[in-house]
C-alpha cells in the first residue's frame, strides 16, 4: 500500500507516552509495514527504517505495538486495513478483466412482437403544434418570420389560439392581421388588443370596407 488511513486522535491517545525518538520509530515502522504488507523481521529493522543508531528504541516500540509471531511481528489493525485494501484491488481487477474479456454484443436482442430500435429511432419527429404554426395566408412571409422571432425573444409561444386571438382583436379594430402583427413588432408588444389602438390613427392600411 502506498497510503493508509491515519486517525490523528486515535494515534495520539495511544502514543502520548512515547519519546520523540520512539514516536518517530513507530511512524516509520507503520510506513514500512504498510508499504511491504508483510510481517516485520526483528533483524536489521532499525537499519531498514533509517534508525540504526536507535535500535533499542525501535525494538521497544516493536514489542509494544506489534505482535510477535513465527513469521515476524504483525500489527492486527494494520492487517485488517491491508486486507480490505487487497480485496478492493482484487475486485477492481476482476471488474476490469470482465470488461476486457467480454466481447461487445453486436446482435441486439429482439423480443417477440418488438419494434426494431432502428425503426423507432428513424421515425420523423412530429411537429410541435404548440410552438410551430403555419403562416396565415393573409400575412406575408417577411412579417410572419419577424413576428415569430419577436415572440421567441419575449419567450412567448406561437400557438393557433394566440393567432386566433390576435386576428379577432384586429378585426374588432378594423385592422388586417398583418397590420396587427406589424404593430406588435413596432410597439414591442407581446400581443394585440383593439382597445390599445381605438384612440389612435391606424399606423397601417386598415381592412378595405371597414374604415
Dump pLDDT digits (tens) for 164-174: 999 999 898 89
Q: Please state the φ and ψ torsions of residue 68, each to the nearest 5 degrees.
A: -80, 130
Cβ pair 179, 206 in contact under 8 A: yes
What is the spatial distance between Cα 18 and Cα 12, in angstroms, rounded to a whole number? Answer: 10
On average, the pLDDT of the chain sits at: 81
Percent of the chain topping pLDDT 90: 36
Residue 156: the pLDDT is 87
Cβ pair 184, 192 in contact under 8 A: yes
Residue 204: the pLDDT is 54
pLDDT mean over 136-159: 90
Residue 211: the pLDDT is 37
Residue 134: band (very low, low, confident or very high) from pLDDT cuts 50, 70, 90:
confident
What is the spatial distance between Cα 31 and Cα 23, in angstroms, rounded to a whole number? Answer: 12
> Which grid coordinates belong to 53?
543508531
Q: What is the pLDDT of residues 71-121, one digit of tens each?
A: 899 999 888 998 888 888 888 887 777 776 666 655 555 566 655 555 555
Cβ pair 162, 170 in contact under 8 A: no
pLDDT mean over 12-26: 91
Look at residues 147, 139, 134 and name the one whose alpha carbon lies nearest to residue 176: 139
pTM listed for this prediction: 0.42
- What's the distance, Cα to Cα, between the start and end of the chain in Å? 92
Residue 29: the pLDDT is 93
Residue 121: the pLDDT is 55
Residue 208: the pLDDT is 43
pLDDT mean over 203-208: 49
Burial 141-178 (b: 16+ CB within 10 A, else e): eebbeebbebbeeeeeebeeebbeebbebbeebbbbbb
Q: What is the pLDDT of residues 44-65, one digit of tens each?
A: 899 999 999 999 999 999 999 9
Residue 130: the pLDDT is 40
pLDDT mean over 11-22: 91
Look at residues 84, 73, 70, 67 and name the one whose alpha carbon lies nearest to residue 48: 73
Amino acid at each position: 500500500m502506498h497510503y493508509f488511513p491515519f486517525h490523528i486522535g486515535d494515534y495520539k491517545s495511544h502514543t502520548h507516552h512515547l519519546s520523540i525518538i520512539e514516536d518517530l520509530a513507530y511512524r516509520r515502522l507503520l510506513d514500512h509495514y504498510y508499504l511491504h504488507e508483510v510481517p516485520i523481521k526483528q533483524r536489521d529493522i532499525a537499519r531498514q527504517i533509517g534508525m540504526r543508531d536507535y535500535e533499542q528504541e525501535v525494538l521497544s516500540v516493536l514489542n509494544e505495538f506489534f505482535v510477535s509471531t513465527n513469521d515476524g511481528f504483525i500489527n492486527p489493525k494494520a492487517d485488517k486495513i491491508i486486507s480490505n485494501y487487497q480485496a478492493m484491488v482484487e475486485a477492481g481487477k476482476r471488474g476490469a478483466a470482465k470488461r476486457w474479456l467480454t466481447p461487445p454484443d453486436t446482435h441486439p436482442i429482439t423480443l417477440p412482437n418488438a419494434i426494431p430500435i432502428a425503426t423507432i429511432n428513424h421515425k420523423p419527429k412530429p411537429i410541435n403544434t404548440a410552438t410551430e404554426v403555419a403562416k396565415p395566408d393573409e400575412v406575408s412571409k417577411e412579417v410572419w418570420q419577424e413576428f415569430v422571432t419577436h415572440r421567441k425573444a419575449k419567450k412567448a409561444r406561437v400557438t393557433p389560439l394566440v393567432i386566433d386571438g390576435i386576428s379577432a382583436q384586429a378585426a374588432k379594430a378594423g385592422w388586417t392581421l398583418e397590420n396587427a402583427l406589424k404593430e406588435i413588432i413596432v410597439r414591442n408588444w407581446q400581443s394585440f388588443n383593439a382597445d390599445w389602438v381605438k384612440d389612435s390613427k391606424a399606423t397601417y392600411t386598415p381592412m378595405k370596407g371597414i374604415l
